[in-house]
Amino acid sequence: MKSKLTPVTLIITAIIIVLGYFAYTNYIVPFYLNNSEQTKEIDLKKDHKLILVPTEKQKNISSLEFEIIGESNQNVSILTYDSAQKNIQRVTIKKGEIEHVNFLNWSSDTCFMDISTDGNAKGNLTLNYRFIGSN
């Protein structure tokens, strides 16, 4: 009985490895390589109105992922919306060390982002964002 299970186990293991490699090369790698990350630096001394756009290769946008890292001595308010003033989301991040990640269902090819504070804020933020879409 033992000798019959060993070849079957090896065949099943080989099939799983081949399927895993196929899924990795055809789905996971293109997903992250074709949806490259973009970066913007933000000085909190004044309010910012940003326009985020995908790279030229990206089509059929389905979501938007952004990460904000930095420091602020005041609360930071972030408003995201599309050109039709739909899909509006407001996030308020507490002052101090900031590390915030947000995933949005997004269908527009442009994202408008307003970043503001209550007064004379001090600090810098780094905005890393990525539009997720098929090519």
Please check whether residues 25 and 41 belong to one and the same domain.
Answer: no
- Measured between alpha carbons, how far is 112 from 78 in angstroms, rounded to an integer? 10
- Measured between alpha carbons, how far is 66 from 125 in angstroms, rounded to an integer? 12
Please check whether residues 125 and 83 belong to one and the same domain.
Answer: yes
Please check whether residues 29 and 65 belong to one and the same domain.
Answer: no
Please check whether residues 56 and 26 belong to one and the same domain.
Answer: no
Looking at residue 111, which CATH number applies to its domain?
2.60.120.380
Please check whether residues 104 and 120 belong to one and the same domain.
Answer: yes
Structure tokens at 121: 């804020």
Please check whether residues 87 and 70 belong to one and the same domain.
Answer: yes
pLDDT digits (tens, 9 = 90+) for 22-32: 988 887 776 66
Q: What is the pLDDT of residue 120?
A: 81
- Measured between alpha carbons, how far is 135 from 108 in angstroms, rounded to an integer? 15
Please check whether residues 96 and 109 belong to one and the same domain.
Answer: yes
pLDDT digits (tens, 9 = 90+) for 43-60: 888 888 998 888 777 777
Considering only CA atoms, which of 63, 64, 90 is closest in space to residue 78?
Answer: 90
Q: What is the pLDDT of residue 34?
A: 65
Please check whether residues 52 and 99 belong to one and the same domain.
Answer: yes
Please check whether residues 72 and 19 belong to one and the same domain.
Answer: no
Question: For the chain, what is the domain count?
Answer: 2
Please check whether residues 1 and 21 belong to one and the same domain.
Answer: yes
Please check whether residues 48 and 104 belong to one and the same domain.
Answer: yes
Residues of the chain scoring pLDDT < 50: none
Q: Which domain holds residue 130?
A: 37-134
Please check whether residues 24 and 81 belong to one and the same domain.
Answer: no
